């Protein structure tokens, strides 16, 4: 493998696939490591050599995620060489990545979420009152942060108690909204004009006077959430918009909600993505098992 081949490959990744600088630097390091193991004569490298490289990485204690990343660089490089007629056979074509174990999602307790919402509502100024409403709505509906901040004003049907969301891939879904969250939104609408410039109109439910998008930004919401975590004594690293979404799903399932219904509300294509929440056991369930299981009654 020559330096010119790698340079041309990196140029292609930047131009055609929009790879970031950090990604390109990682690719370069991974390919250098690969050639140190397999040699630089690319025409002689076989699928067995690449498999041996993967086994070597595993023997060094590298995680499946790290190995998969390095293997991805090798795959993309050989794919590029094959498309440029530098090699006749792509040896990386059928090499499988190691299976990665999905980490269990982090979530907050119902009490911790209530603490966050109440801490924001106590401030009484419009900005913090609005954050409290956004938190309430996000937790009530399991929204992604991008869906929350960019929600049109006409998304909520107050009569039917439903929320129409345009999610990933512009796919729409209807989500039922808890009455308490609707009440908070209706109260917010009485002071929403505070966030508009000079009485101008806005299509967004949560408009912003300063952001280029015209609505509250993800970064702004994230920042407020971290500040509330500190104020309430919660671990700020444990609190994020996505953790609120995880909490929504976890709490529903712990209260015996139907898995398919939760899948639809979250907007998951694959129910397997939703099933990960079933691995989280609530404290109430643990207590029930300890109290009711026959073995718990045996001396």
pLDDT digits (tens, 9 = 90+) for 21-53: 888 999 999 999 998 998 878 888 999 999 999
Domain-embedded: residue 292: no
Exactly one of 102, 242, 279, 287 is catalytic; which is it? 242
Is the same domain home to 119 and 230?
A: yes
pLDDT digits (tens, 9 = 90+) for 60-81: 888 888 999 999 999 999 999 9
pLDDT digits (tens, 9 = 90+) for 130-155: 999 999 999 999 999 999 999 999 99
pLDDT digits (tens, 9 = 90+) for 267-297: 888 887 787 776 665 555 556 556 655 655 5
From 64, 83, 102, the end of a domain falls on 83
Residues 171-199, mean pLDDT to the nearest whole number: 91
Is the same domain home to 166 and 236?
A: yes
Output the pLDDT for position 219. 94
Output the pLDDT for position 295. 58
Let me know if 251 is a catalytic residue: no
User: Which residues span the domain enclosing 208?
Assistant: 110-287
Residue written as tokens 């690719």? 27
Is the same domain home to 165 and 234?
A: yes
CA distance readout (Å), 19 to 7, 73, 169, 235: 14, 12, 21, 33
Q: How many domains does the chain have?
A: 2
Q: Which helix (H) or strand (E) holds 96?
A: none
Q: Which CATH number covers residue 21?
A: 1.10.150.130
Domain-embedded: residue 90: no
pLDDT digits (tens, 9 = 90+) for 94-133: 888 777 666 666 888 999 999 999 999 998 899 999 999 9
Let me know if 268 is a catalytic residue: yes
Query: How is residue 168 written in tokens?
Result: 């990933």
Q: Which CATH number covers residue 162?
A: 1.10.443.10
pTM surpassing 0.75? no
- pLDDT higher than 80, residue 258: yes
Which one, of 82, 104, 108, 102, lies nearest residue 93 by Cα? 82
Let me know if 242 is a catalytic residue: yes
How many residues are given for the chain?
299
Is the same domain home to 125 and 221?
A: yes
Exactly one of 70, 129, 130, 144 is catalytic; which is it? 144
Domain-embedded: residue 216: yes
Q: Quote the percentage of the chain above a pLDDT of 70.
A: 90
pLDDT digits (tens, 9 = 90+) for 225-244: 999 999 999 998 889 999 99
Let me know if 168 is a catalytic residue: yes
Query: How is residue 123 written in tokens?
Result: 């401030």
Let me know if 293 is a catalytic residue: no
Is the same domain home to 60 and 116?
A: no
- Tell me what percent of the chain is helix, strand and coil, each rounded to the nearest 5: 60, 5, 35
Let me know if 102 is a catalytic residue: no
Output the pLDDT for position 28. 93
């Amino acid at each position: 493998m020559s330096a010119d081949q790698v340079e041309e490959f990196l140029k292609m990744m930047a131009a055609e696939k929009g790879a970031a600088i950090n990604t390109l630097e990682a690719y370069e390091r991974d390919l250098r490591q690969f050639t140190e193991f397999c040699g630089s004569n690319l025409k002689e490298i076989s699928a067995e050599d690449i498999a041996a490289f993967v086994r070597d990485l595993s023997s060094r204690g590298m995680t499946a995620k790290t190995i998969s990343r390095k293997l991805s660089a090798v795959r993309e490089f050989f794919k590029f060489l094959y498309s440029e007629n530098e090699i006749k056979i792509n040896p990386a074509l059928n090499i499988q990545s190691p299976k990665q174990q999905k980490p269990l999602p982090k979530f907050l307790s119902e009490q911790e979420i209530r603490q966050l919402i109440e801490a924001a509502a106590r401030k009484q100024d419009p900005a913090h009152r609005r954050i409290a409403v956004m938190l309430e709505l996000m937790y009530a509906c399991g929204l992604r942060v991008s869906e929350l901040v960019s929600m049109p004003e006409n998304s909520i049907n107050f009569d039917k108690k439903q929320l129409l969301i345009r999610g990933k891939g512009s796919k729409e879904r209807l989500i039922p909204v808890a009455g308490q969250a609707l009440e908070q939104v209706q109260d917010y609408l009485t002071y929403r004009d505070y966030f508009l410039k000079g009485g101008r109109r806005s299509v967004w439910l949560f408009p912003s006077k300063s952001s280029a998008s015209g609505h509250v930004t993800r970064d702004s919401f994230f920042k407020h959430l971290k500040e509330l975590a500190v104020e309430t004594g919660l671990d700020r690293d444990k609190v994020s918009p996505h953790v609120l979404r995880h909490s929504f799903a976890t709490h529903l399932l712990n209260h015996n909600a139907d898995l398919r219904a939760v899948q639809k509300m979250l907007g998951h294509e694959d129910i397997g993505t939703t099933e990960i929440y079933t691995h989280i056991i609530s404290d109430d369930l643990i207590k029930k098992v300890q109290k009711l299981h026959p073995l718990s009654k045996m001396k």
